[in-house]
Amino acid sequence: MGDLILLRHGETEWSLTGKHTGRTDIPLTPKGEAAAKALAPMLSRRDIVAVFTSPARRAVTTAAFAGLSNAQPDADLWEWDYGGYEGLTTPQIQETRPGWDLWRDGVIPGDAAHAGESIEQVAHRVGRLLARVVPLLDGGDVALVSHGHALRVLTACYLLLDPAAGRLFKLDTGTVSTLGTEHATHVITSWNVPPSP
C-alpha cells in the first residue's frame, strides 16, 4: 500500500505576506521555485504511480520543478475559495470582523470569480478526490500538489476527522507531508517536511 504524498506549492508573493490566495492565479517567487526544485531528490526515491495537481499555476509549476511528470490537473484540488476575503490578510479581515477565524467563521461572498465556499463544500470536493485516488495506492504512492488550507481539510477528511480539524495541521509552503495506514487505520506518516538543504 502506497502513501498519499502531499506537496504544498512553493512560496508566492501573497503567501509570503499572508494574503488569502484562493482562485487568484499568481506565480511562485524565485525562493518558491528553488524550494520546489529542492523537493525533487526526496521525491525521486518514491514509487509514485500518479500525480494530481490543482489547476493553479503555482501548483502546476511546483509539480514540474519537483520532477513530478505527467501531473493531471484536478479542479477538486483548488484552494478554498475565500470569496470576499480573497487577497486580504487575517488582520485586515479582523478590522471589520474582530476575532474572525477562517475555520470557525468561514468567508463572505465575493464577485463572480470569488463566490466563496463553506468548509463543508471544501470537504465535499476533497472527499470526492480521495474517493478517486485512494484506490490507486494499491499500486504505489500518489502525489497531490495543492494549497495549504485545501490540503489541511483533505488531511482531516482522510483521517476521518471533522473538516475543521484541519486547523490543527500547520502547513508551510514548499513542504512534503505523507499520509498512510497503520493496522488499517489512516495515519499521518510525516508532516510539513522542508526540502533537504
Instruction: List active site positions.
Output: 9, 79
Q: In this structure, is residue 180 part of a structural domain? A: yes
**CB neighbours (10 Å) of residue 11?**
22
In whole numbers, what is the pLDDT of the chain averaged over residues? 96
Q: In this structure, is residue 147 part of a structural domain? A: yes
Burial classification of residue 62, based on how many CB atoms lie within 10 Å of its CB (0-12 exposed, 13-18 middle, 19 or more buried): buried
In the predicted structure, residue 196 carries a pLDDT above the cut 90: no
- CA–CA distance, 184 with 175 (Å, rounded to integer): 26
Q: In this structure, is residue 19 part of a structural domain? A: yes
Q: Which pLDDT band, with edges at 50, 70 and 90, does 165 fall under?
A: very high
Question: What is the reported pLDDT for 179?
Answer: 98
- CA–CA distance, 124 with 118 (Å, rounded to integer): 10
Terminal-residue alpha carbon distance, the chain? 29
Q: In this structure, is residue 93 part of a structural domain? A: no
Strand order in the sheet with 141-146: 72-73, 48-53, 141-146, 4-8, 176-182, 185-193
Q: In this structure, is residue 170 part of a structural domain? A: yes
Q: In this structure, is residue 99 part of a structural domain? A: no
- Indicate which CATH number applies to the domain containing 20: 3.40.50.1240
Question: What is the reported pLDDT for 146?
Answer: 98
Question: What is the reported pLDDT for 197?
Answer: 67
Q: In this structure, is residue 14 part of a structural domain? A: yes
Strand partners for 12: 28
**Total number of domains in the chain:** 1
Q: In this structure, is residue 103 part of a structural domain? A: no
Question: Could you tell me the residue range of the domain that residue 151 belongs to?
Answer: 4-82+119-193
CA distances to 23, 121, 183 from 187, in Å:
29, 23, 10
Taking only the tens place, the pLDDT of each residue in 125-140 is 999 999 999 999 999 9
In the predicted structure, residue 194 carries a pLDDT above the cut 80: yes
